[in-house]
Amino acid sequence: MATTATALNPVFEEKDALCEDLDRVLRDHYERVLSEDYIREKSQQLLREGYMKVTEILPPETMQALSAEVKDIIEKTSRRIDIQIAATGNSPRKMSTVNYENFMSEGTLVPALYKSAAMRSFLDRIAGHPVEDCAYAAERITATKQEKPGDTHGWHWGDHMYALIFIVQAPEIDAGGMLQCIPATRWNKENPRIHELMTQFPINTYYHATGDIYFFRTDTTLHRTYPLERDCTRIILNYTYSGPDDHHRPKTHETTQAIYEF
Ligand SMILES: O=C(O)CCC(=O)C(=O)O
Ligand SMILES: [Fe+2]
């Protein structure tokens, strides 16, 4: 809604109009694709696997526009890292990254969609409780790009309850880059025991093609991307959210600081 301050500022007015348009488009879309059976099936999968594919959350044209903006911001602002992180058992991060500040200063659709009330209420219904802005702003919106053999976002958990991942570009399955998950696990930052957990519990592996979107429970799902096996491009946009389980737990953010804040 236009306030006196925004009415005087054409940039804010444009952003308000974009948010209203986006919410209208998404509400129409959800009326067509959402049913009680869909919600029940997806929330059950989320509960059991800590993961669910939710490509229906955006109309294809919106996903295309979002992907174009992400690619453009990656071209302008990404930086390459090649590090190991102690709090996740020295698992590797070999990729380029874009941080929250980059998206807030360069993006329009990407920040608007994060705040979309229509999309958030879709996620609330699947989660079965409110899905909230990530309490730690730097984790809200990030992106990664992998391109060389060996590139990987190594084994880790998230500091907050959920992430919605948009697959902006993905190689064929023979190149690697699949998501691997070990659900219903807990992160002990002093002793992450990644290899023990890999031998104790089954690992689920999911392939995603360009345009796919998935939602997952990141604080209790140990996950990684399978290393790339040839030159190719894999780009994702990550929206991270908090939820009720985050309210009473003390937080530290070692992985975000190492990967996105430099
Ligand atoms: O690239 C993916 O599919 C997973 C992304 C991820 O785990 C993250 O951004 O924290
Ligand atoms: Fe992650």
pLDDT digits (tens, 9 = 90+) for 75-90: 999 999 999 999 999 9
Q: Which atom of ligand 1 is nearest to the CA of 238?
A: 9
Q: Which atom of ligand 1 is nearest to the CA of 234?
A: 1
Burial 178-213 (b: 16+ CB within 10 A, else e): bbebbbebebeeeebebeebeeeeeeeebebeebbb
- CB neighbour list of residue 201: distance below 8 Å, 6 or more residues apart: 182, 184, 185
Structural domain 4-260, CATH architecture: Sandwich (2.60)
Which residue's CA lies nearest to atom 9 of ligand 1?
A: 238
User: Pocket around ligand 1: residues whose beta carbon is below 6 Å from it?
Assistant: 144, 153, 165, 179, 223, 225, 236, 238
Q: Which atom of ligand 1 is nearest to the CA of 158?
A: 10
Say which residue, 255 or 204, is predicted with more confidence.
204
Residue type, 52: M
pLDDT above 80 for 5:
no
Residue type, 126: I
| 152 alpha carbon – ligand 1 mean position (Å) | 9
Burial-class residue 32 by CB neighbours within 10 Å (0-12, 13-18, 19+): exposed
- pLDDT tens digit sequence for 135-177: 999 999 999 999 999 999 999 999 999 999 999 999 999 999 9
As a whole number of angstroms, the longest Cα–Cα distance in the chain is 60
68's tokens: 């174009």
Residues 185, 201: contact at Cβ < 8 Å? Answer: yes
The CA distance from 178 to 238, in Å, is 16
| 225 alpha carbon – ligand 1 mean position (Å) | 7
Q: Which of 16, 20, 18, 37 is nearest to 28 (CA)?
A: 20
Residues 163, 219: contact at Cβ < 8 Å? Answer: no
Mutate to test the pocket of ligand 1, among 206, 225, 241 (most ligand atoms within 8 A of CB): 225
